[in-house]
Amino acid sequence: MTVTSYAKKFNGIPLSVLDLAGINEGSNPQESFKDSISLAQHVEKLGFNRYWFAEHHNMPGIASSATSILIGHIAGATERMRVGSGGIMLPNHAPLVIAEQFGTLESLYPGRIDLGIGRAPGTDQQTAYALRRTLHSGGEDFPEQLAELRSYFESNPTAPVRAVPGEGLDIPIWLLGSSGFSARLSAELGLPFSFASHFAPAYVMEALQIYHQHFQPSLYLKEPYTMLGINVIAADTDEKAQWLATSLQQQFLNMTRGLSVKFQPPVKDMEAIWTPQEKYAVLQSLDPKTTIIGGPETVQKKINSFLNETKTNEFIISTPIFDHEERLRSYEIIGEMMK
């Protein structure tokens, strides 16, 4: 388990960045990728620990579908920060292909690549079929796929199928989840675990309990290691942060309505947009414990509170803000809280 030594700490733990390469209304993927480079270089200077992309497909507002390519793009534009997947959705891929891709990344950027693995499709059923050509498995064979993937990184000159590059490389594998399944599996395998508390806040404490109760030390990890996803939208004042956060609220509102659109600019009044029922559904997912919105003092207090409650080893922060300069400023505010 690698935590880079240069990373600064927030109350004793490192902070990392989750980027979906969001596509703004009126923009395109090319601009999103330019913004990702700008953000990655910015947060590396601030002392953030790692920079992860998440695999999504068939979503007009998210450009991180070719996740491995983006990881290489960012790793090549940075110097020290770890770069990886948060995560690769393994049921969408042949394990050998992922081993070769990440073996290539690790060979290009040694000691800097993380492989976070999830079992959800990261898309709808029709797109999942287009990716896999079959839907015979809904993730039930995920443990077997994971075992196959891990085997390709082992040194075995007599194996009938070998990952080149990949074989013999020490690439940290994380399991990701939003329920107890991955928590238990990562614990039993002695792997680090990252929970998506930024959109599944109701299950975070249960998942952490499962992981710690069932953790078995391994060659890769002697003690449990958890990283929790949180949304943080920081600005110079609470009022401005609340206004910026309406873009995230619109994103979740559109998901509840079954609409797939680009990321929207902030609005003055969400009450004019959502119904009381829709507001309740959105705010259930955007719990104030894990979606932290405010000025510097508010943000620091709320991150500290969630850290004290969970005792996690690391936070990975998503900051969905429409304006790129405001997004940079949000991470700058958080960076000022790290020592």
| Domain 15-238+288-335 homologous superfamily, CATH | Luciferase-like domain (3.20.20.30)
Per-residue pLDDT of the chain (339 residues; tens, 9 = 90+): 555 557 899 999 999 999 999 999 999 999 999 999 999 999 999 999 999 999 999 999 999 999 999 999 999 999 999 999 998 999 999 999 999 999 999 999 999 999 999 987 656 777 777 876 565 555 678 999 999 999 999 999 999 999 999 999 999 999 999 989 999 999 999 999 999 999 899 999 999 999 999 999 999 999 999 999 999 999 999 999 999 999 999 999 999 999 999 999 999 999 999 999 999 999 999 999 999 999 999 999 999 999 999 999 999 999 999 999 999 999 999 999 998
pTM above 0.85, yes or no: yes
Please check whether residue 247 is in contact with residue 219, taking contact to mean a CB–CB distance below 8 angstroms.
no
Considering Cα of 21, then 32, then 64, then 39, what sign does the dihedral take?
negative
Q: DSSP alpha helices (H): ranges in the chain?
A: 29-46, 67-77, 95-108, 125-132, 142-152, 180-189, 204-214, 238-244, 246-256, 276-285, 296-310, 324-335
Please check whether residue 299 is in contact with residue 334, taking contact to mean a CB–CB distance below 8 angstroms.
yes
Residue 58 corresponds to which tokens in the numbers above? 């068939």
Residue 45: CB atoms within 10 A of its CB come to 13
CA 8 from centre of chain = 19
Residue spans per domain, the chain = 15-238+288-335
